[in-house]
Structure 1
């Protein structure tokens, strides 16, 4: 617990409380673990650059700097009235590309203005981190006047000994200039999007969509043929494909469609997507799946062929990718004898030849076999030429030489792809799994986007568990993003966000849902609590 100046202003005391809830150590140095490249062609930077150029000239010969952060609280631009401040800011990692938020950097004007969505000054000892107490800073949020969305924060920082109330007025005026240019740019951006949409829609009867800037434009064909979940898939694929991309999309319904996409000039990240008739897009090689959204990717006709030939099969993949399901489908009701390599009795190796002729011998977790056991198992398999067997293991690349020698006895290989590499398929997979376990439950568009954004460390097993829980708590038989518990504002929860979620939920439970008392316990304002409740999906 840092030693605080007494008394702390209420807004500073609340900010310190939030930092403590995040488990921050006031003696630590701001981290660069979240350092990332800065995207230079964003609407925020386009609007801010000329305003910052003029503003920094007014700071000439002063020891103040301008820091511009985006809507993730990541610093994207930095200007100096005098270079003497540059090294000091470098030492505390107030550098372009670093994310300066309260959950990583504690109380300061940039992070706290971002958190409370209001202007604030933080002076010297009011900073939570000891390393920041030598600074004074003034921060103000930048709000898009057209959309009402937070676009970023502007911060003026100097040495604590140079503190002056004039800087609070200065930062407010600079932000007003940026917001005015954002308003003008927003109108131009939407004009560009509308012009591209009208031009494309006028020359085709195919579904046409334009995504970007918090807006979606769709012609009648798109509205009739594509629901919100399908549009969410196309938006994500269009964003990934970049300019002049072509491909096929697997929709949540299980249907596949061809599409072409292109960026919309002058808009930053907007794109136009046209869904094509099947004849206009070359079909890929015959699919490995009989059904487009089969969870394990393996074509049942291939499994039937392997079963008829009594082929020896190696099934590999990460945990949760469906290895056990594949082996079960391979056996198709025939007897199965399973040996677990993680708990293998040496005596079992002597009985392998006695496996019934019509049974499938499955050796699971081959990647856990000691080398000596792998050699003995290889000998036992070689001594039973009529044995029908399947080996199951983690990714082949992780096997030892002895384990590789053992799996070399398999004449067929089935390598299962991690779900994180099948993200475009996830909405269709989720729809199929829901129909198997919860017929009638559907995915909303925001849930589709959240499913595609998640990295799925537990693969299909995790997907099933998430959907089972979501379908139990959803309303109106519609799974929405908050029901999934995966994302905040379209991205996965960080560990600190998960801790904050648990803390807020606990406070609400202790106070029987009374938000005023929960906010008091947490040391945050009711407005901040209500906003966080909406972001976490806890609002009624």
Structure 2
């Protein structure tokens, strides 16, 4: 590898060597920067709104410093750039580190923001650590920003300065800006709770015990049945299967059901990705099981894996295939948001892609899943009134089956007869725009009052301190639909 930095004992050095190798494999030239120009920027996202606000505030304190502050999206596309140093800005223009240009590792080689996105950890790339010679004039510190609710990678905060400048505080500033961006996103995301930190759970399951997908419904509508059949056929043929779709649709559940149907005597090991800094220990927990007889492997959310982890898993899968006999299969499945999101190292291994439709496209599955969730909570069947059923069927379920099961589980813990008044306000509201905290509180209060059994609209208006006309206007504003209570 020409001119690559020597691999030292630190993880950072290992990451740099891996990044240099990928850059060479991508065919990135050493002497020229040719980032792709996209031009079209998504400047309406919550991430961009909050990140721009945070960086604008930070820029005001660094206006006289030779530092450029940038936001990029998850593909390395530079969204904006702030700096008070005109000489630095002119120099960055020459290497196209500017809004509209994509600075991913694949196009310009090892660089701070590209490596931070690839490995999903805070990263500093200094001077000669860059792959391209024309970038050795700079030092870059970049920190990924994850959506605090969904956990999805939104992009990164990147701070760039001259390589001759001290970079000791650069990463700390980038980490602070990324953290503040994530916190601001949470505060403005309709009051939703943050996604729990990734724990890298690994479950080894013996046949008689609970396993991934155990106790779930396989007898659902035609869309689910068709996807389950295609996954099972591919597993039976020895192909690696990727289940793709929106979060919460049941991708891992579908694969676990397919594995159990095709390989009833095998144990299933399911692994969820850890926080990036815990990846090395996580790999050591489950990869020794890969390729063992009578063991099926299911890796969730591979689109959240750092690039080097995906490469390591690929190598282990290929080695396991070499060791296996022609009549042996390697039961290995993955989930991701889409095939395009699967890391480049793993995508060529996938033999079959099964799309799991969102729940809004499977309305026939809503009530079977609701009754199943309620019965699991109470250990017996729970009555769901016709008005509650109408509300459940009418909801768009942006969180898919996971959201439905959580809503019904919480309601079934409080009542033997689940009625519309036991459902949260967002199930009854079709409002698609982001609500402020005050708006969300107002909507929830309106729903709480008008779902009370026997209350008239006039009584509801008096309790809310509004006129009837205002209540009707608010119902339209929040797109609230409350079916009449009836059992």
- Give TM class, smaller chain: 0.3 to 0.5
Q: Rg: which structure is higher?
A: 1
**TM-score (norm: length of structure 2):** 0.43
**TM-score (norm: length of structure 1):** 0.39
